[in-house]
Structure 1
Amino acid sequence: MRNPGDIGRRVVARREELGLTREQVAARAGTAADYLRYVEERPTASPGTGFLIRLAAALETTVAQLRGSDADLPPGIGRAAYHPELTELDPGECWARLSTHGVGRVSVSTPDGPAIVPVNYTVVDGAVAFSTARGTTPALAAGAEAAFEVDHIDEALSEGWSVLVVGRAEWVTDPAATGRLVGAAHSAPWAGGDRELWVRITPDRVTGHRITAR
């Protein structure tokens, strides 16, 4: 069973993703900012369905996403927009979406065949880097050409984007370079464990696409 407090954390995350203040969201949802604060900060808060419907609309998402009831399902389970449009992203737009960090997917060749695995990544000096450990699947990317992909899906609007980085992946062995990566990392790997070695992908090409509803 999901922790009721997860609703508050999801509300905060979505509100910050949209760049909205608590007061702005409260006004959109037709509720008091103090009550929204209560929902966000109290793990025991259990708002009613009517409030969640208004709040989901204010946050341009769904009640299921706020409740986390779709957390064990793959993204993109909704229907396509009526008039979707696929466009290319220019290099600047690609790097803007890569941002400084996040979770992406790296392709590797394993003894059992190709694999794609998620990693926490950091962007430093025009390259994508991630920390790992020898003997792990992500470590197999080092020493070969690799593809790295990151994407985002807006379930409520059936929109999204993806960015693909292709280039040579190498171990980072210079202590100064490793120090810069450690200092720039937003988070330790979500997978946990001892992952103090870094792999850096130097891009040969960066491409991206966006789906919007017209």
Structure 2
Amino acid sequence: MDRDDELGDEPEELGAEACLRLLSTVPVGRVVYTEHALPAVLPVSFEVVPDGRLLLAVRRDSATARGLDGTVVAFQADRLDPLTRSGWSVLVHGRADILRDPEQILGALRSGLRPWTDEPDPMFVAVVPELISGRRLSASAHPVPHA
């Protein structure tokens, strides 16, 4: 028996547009990048902009900012309910670049996008999605009991 059978219903594969719509409903995701030749994962604030790019808010002069600029990254976000064993998960792969255009930076600041840490001068990173995949799992007929 595989893991999907244990969970009940088969996961629904989601198209790119549905994935981007779902991403726009959560404020935090995880970016996967390389730091000192090792994989690194960091939760980041983000938003989906109208052209489909993801804007990530990071601390200026951080290892994360340096590790993201001009590299290929993975980004993942989800919304899961452990009681009903339902929810969705989206994975994006794409190139990340630090925003340098003053108008785009101003737009990100106006939107309220900020890193989770107290950062008076945040840096914004744009991820251009090249591969987008996602899955949705409907509520199980057998919810998990409270512990």
Unaligned runs of 5+ in 1: 1-79
Q: How many residues align?
A: 133
**Percent of aligned pairs sharing the same letter:** 32
Q: Residue 197 of structure 1 aligns to which amino acid in structure 2?
A: M
Could you tell me which residue of structure 2 aligns to residue 132 of structure 1? Answer: 58
Pair 1:195–1:115, CA change in 2 (3 A): farther
* Corresponding residue SS for 1:192: coil
Whole-angstrom distance in 2 between the partners of 1:182 and 1:193 = 12
- The structure with the largest strand share of the pair is 2
Could you tell me which residue of structure 1 aligns to residue 42 of structure 2? Answer: 117
Pairwise CA RMSD: 1.9
Pair 1:176–1:141, CA change in 2 (3 A): same
Pair 1:164–1:141, CA change in 2 (3 A): same
* Corresponding residue SS for 1:85: coil
Q: Is the 8 A contact 2:60 2:122 kept in 1?
A: no
Which residue of the other structure, out of 102, 105, 108, is the alignment partner of 1:178? Answer: 105
Which residue of the other structure, out of 146, 149, 163, is the alignment partner of 2:90? Answer: 163
Whole-angstrom distance in 2 between the partners of 1:117 and 1:137 = 11
Which residue of the other structure, out of 20, 31, 34, is the alignment partner of 1:95? Answer: 20
The Cα of 1:101 is off from its aligned counterpart by 5.3
Q: Residue 115 of structure 1 aligns to which amino acid in structure 2?
A: A
Asked which structure has the greater CA Rg, the reply is 1
TM-score (norm 2): 0.81
Deviations 1:30-84 (A, max 9, x none): xxxxxxxxxxxxxxxxxxxxxxxxxxxxxxxxxxxxxxxxxxxxxxxxxx64x23
- The structure with the largest helix share of the pair is 1
* Corresponding residue SS for 2:114: coil
The Cα of 1:100 is off from its aligned counterpart by 6.0
Deviations 1:91-114 (A, max 9, x none): 221111011651000011111611
Whole-angstrom distance in 2 between the partners of 1:143 and 1:158 = 37
Which residue of the other structure, out of 122, 127, 132, is the alignment partner of 1:201? Answer: 127
Q: Is the 8 A contact 2:68 2:98 kept in 1?
A: no
Which residue of the other structure, out of 57, 77, 80, is the alignment partner of 1:150? Answer: 77
Whether 2:68 is the aligned partner of 1:141: answer yes
Higher relative contact order (CA 8 A, sep 6+): 2
TM-score (norm 1): 0.57
* Corresponding residue SS for 1:84: coil
